[in-house]
Amino acid sequence: MTDPQPSVPAVFLDRDGVLIEDSGYPHLDEHLILIPGAAEAVRRLNGLGYMAVIVTNQSGVARGLFDEDRMNRFNDLLVRRLAGKGARIGAVYACPFHAEAQDPRYRHPDHPDRKPNPGMILRAIADHHIDPARSFLIGDRQSDLEAARRASLPGFLFEGGNLDHFVRDLLGG
């Protein structure tokens, strides 16, 4: 019998409005504008042993504004841009489903992954041996905080400004 993998703490981060400017369904390379302090905040969290996990609703796919491939390429660009600044994202979970989807493949009345449901968070916890007791979420909407609550995690509302300052104050220094 082998020892179970050690569990790690994680910070779950919403994408639009927390890591990048929310320009309304950002998906093109030129839409990728980092929030002030985003890379520094992720780097700070990495340095404290946190795995950074992006959890993002992406109804633009369901609405027919862009396809899943474009969404994935945009998310990959974000991960690379942060990595170039020494900030490591351990995983990205994106939910393209929406109740009013134009594309029936993405139509779902209440998909378990779509925040405020906790599906993306719970999958990440299982996939990456994350310790929920040492983890938390940062989001910019009440639906993010509700998803955290449903996953039994603390959630913190980021209302703009410098993300690194927010994280520093949140962690007490």
- Residues 16, 22, 113, 144: which is the catalytic one? 16
With CA atoms as reference, report the closest residue to 167 among 46, 54, 86: 46
Phi and psi at 53, nearest 5°, equal: -125, 125
- 């910070």: which residue's tokens? 11
67 is annotated as an active-site residue: no
Indicate the pairing of strand 89-95 with strand 10-13.
Answer: unpaired
- Residues 3, 14, 103, 110: which is the catalytic one? 14
- 């400004």: which residue's tokens? 161
* 67 assigned binding-site residue: no
* 164 assigned binding-site residue: no
14 is annotated as an active-site residue: yes
Instruction: Give the ranges where 17-127 is alpha helix by DSSP (H).
Output: 38-47, 59-62, 68-83, 119-127
Query: Could you count the other beta carbons within 10 Å of the beta carbon of residue 137?
Result: 26
Bind-site residues for Zn(2+) = 95
Bind-site residues for Mg(2+) = 14, 16, 140
Bind-site residues = 14, 16, 95, 140
Catalytically active residues are: 14, 16
